[in-house]
Amino acid sequence: MDKLLIVGSLNMDMVADVDHTPLTGETILTREITLIPGGKGANQAYAAGKLKADVTMFGAVGEDGYGNTLLENLAKAGVHVENVIKRKHTATGMAFITVNKEGDNSIVVISGANATMSVEDIDLGRKLIESADIVLLQMEIPVETVCYTAKLAKSLGKTVILDPAPVPDSFPAELYRYIDIIKPNETELYRLTGMNPAENRMEEAAGWIRERGVGNVLVTLGEQGAYLDSELFGIVRIPAITVQAVDTTAAGDAFTAAAAVKLAEGKDLCEAASFANRVASIVVTRKGAQSSIPTLEEVLAESF
Ligand code: RIB
């Protein structure tokens, strides 16, 4: 099986269940806050570990209790964490998350150690990239570090997968050239292209990204499944699976990781996307980020 390397963020999530997402200027009450391991990078790594991939995490935490907890949780899922940097005098990343009654979330990330992941760190970790087959990236570490990693990985012949969340104000056009598969959700797709979401120009938006050098654009559509515009398969729609969503946190992270796991097993991108859709459908029925990610056995036991 091919080896996965995740380069990205680790956060301790502080999750508050709320009746509704607070409006601008509004104060609302909730009874408690729950601490759950998260971070878009770490969620991908955790999901890949649970799905039995050979997966390594590369990122940074602070020298604090939250950092240790995050690494222990990843290690329990079988993720190689030895190379995660423990940064002195820096706090581990945190995320404040509200989840409303519809299961939709709203997230503020306090980057902490994630913001310290530098190009020099990537050079020091070059061996990790050399020994991986598939490199997964997201945008919760500095954009220049993402771009540098993608460029290096691509030059070494690796498959590069980017979840462009959160989409930065200025997304470097150069980055598109180093990506084999990009996995935005619908909002992120339109944000990247500058198109108006209300106009619903999915094909055009995915085509816009393809023209910039990305071989495959895989868009998650929530309750409507997923959409693939692929250099090999053309346009493919992955049908929705109907479930009762309670919390969508980490569904996109798990989707990306699950697709990568199947590619690592030698499956094609259509099969990979379809498996990823099944995994994400389970994630949204459970609360939290890493707490919601199923084992391989649980995915295989699902009848959908
Ligand atoms: O994608 C979900 C993740 O986004 C959360 O776990 C939170 O940490 C933020 O990074």
Could you read off the pLDDT of 214-224 as tens digits, one per residue?
999 999 999 99
Say if residue 207's pLDDT is above 90: yes
- Cβ–Cβ < 8 Å for 2, 134: yes
Q: Which residues line ligand 1 (CB under 6 A)?
A: 9, 11, 13, 38-40, 43, 95, 107, 109, 140, 249-250, 252-253, 289
Find the 163 Cα to ligand 1 centroid distance in Å. Answer: 12
CA-nearest residue, atom 10 of ligand 1: 39
**Looking at residues 209-216, what average pLDDT do you find?**
98
Instruction: Convert the pLDDT of each residue in 37-87 to its tens digit.
Output: 999 999 999 999 999 999 999 999 999 999 999 999 999 999 999 999 999
Task: State the distance from the centre of ligand 1 to the C-alpha of 57, rounded, in angstroms.
Answer: 16
CA of 38 to the centre of ligand 1 (A): 5
Percent of the chain with pLDDT strictly greater than 70 = 100
User: Using only C-alpha atoms, what is the Rg of the chain?
Assistant: 18
Mutate to test the pocket of ligand 1, among 10, 11, 255 (most ligand atoms within 8 A of CB): 11
User: Burial level of 227, CB count in 10 A (0-12/13-18/19+)?
Assistant: buried
In three-state secondary structure terms, 212 is coil
Say whether pLDDT at 300 is over 90: yes
**59 alpha-carbon distance from chain centroid:** 14
DSSP line for 93-131: EEEEEEE-TTS-EEEEEE-GGGGG--HHHHHHTHHHHHT
- Asked if 217 contacts 206 with a C-beta cutoff of 8 angstroms, the reply is yes
* pLDDT reported for residue 303: 84
On average, the pLDDT of the chain sits at: 97
Contact 72, 19 (CB under 8 A): no
Phi, psi of 228 (to 5 degrees): -120, 130
**Ligand 1, closest atom to CA 105?**
2
Report the separation in Å between the CA atom of 234 and the middle of ligand 1, taken as the mean of its atom positions: 31
Query: Which residue is listed with tokens 């009746």?
Result: 19
What are the pLDDT digits (tens) for 158-180? 999 999 999 999 999 999 999 99
pLDDT band at 17 (very low <50, low <70, confident <90, very high): very high
The answer to whether 6 and 81 are in contact (CB under 8 A) is no
- pLDDT value at residue 287: 97
Q: Return the structure tokens found at 162.
A: 């980017």
Q: Which whole number is the average pLDDT over 82-97?
A: 98
Q: What is the dihedral of CA 284, 285, 291, 295, to 10 degrees?
A: -90
**Residue 243 main-chain phi, psi, to 5 deg:** -140, 170
Mean pLDDT to the nearest integer, 236-243:
96
Enter the pTM of the model: 0.97
Ligand 1 centroid from CA 140, angstroms: 9
Answer yes or no: 180 catalytic. no
Residue minimizing CA distance to atom 6 of ligand 1: 38
Q: How confident is the model at residue 6 (pLDDT cuts 50, 70, 90)?
A: very high
β-sheet bridge partners, residue 223:
none
Please compute the mean of the pLDDT values over residues 207-232 and round it to a whole number: 97
**Average pLDDT rounded to a whole number, residues 244-264:** 97
Which atom of ligand 1 lies nearest, measured to the CA of 36? 6
Q: Is 108 exposed, middle or buried, given 0-12, 13-18 or 19+ CB atoms closer than 10 A?
A: exposed
Nearest CA to ligand 1 atom 2: 250
- Of 109, 163, 291, which is best to mutate to test ligand 1, by the most ligand atoms within 8 angstroms of its C-beta? 109
Closest CA to 64 of 95, 48, 86: 86
The atom number, within ligand 1, closest to the CA of 11 reads: 8
Percent of the chain exceeding pLDDT 90 equals 98
Atom number in ligand 1 closest to CA 93: 8
pLDDT at 304 over 90: no
Residue with the smallest CA separation from ligand 1 atom 9 is: 39
Marked catalytic residue, from 17, 123, 253, 268:
253
Lowest mean pLDDT among 50-54, 112-116, 198-202: 198-202
Look-up of token digits 């990122």: 59
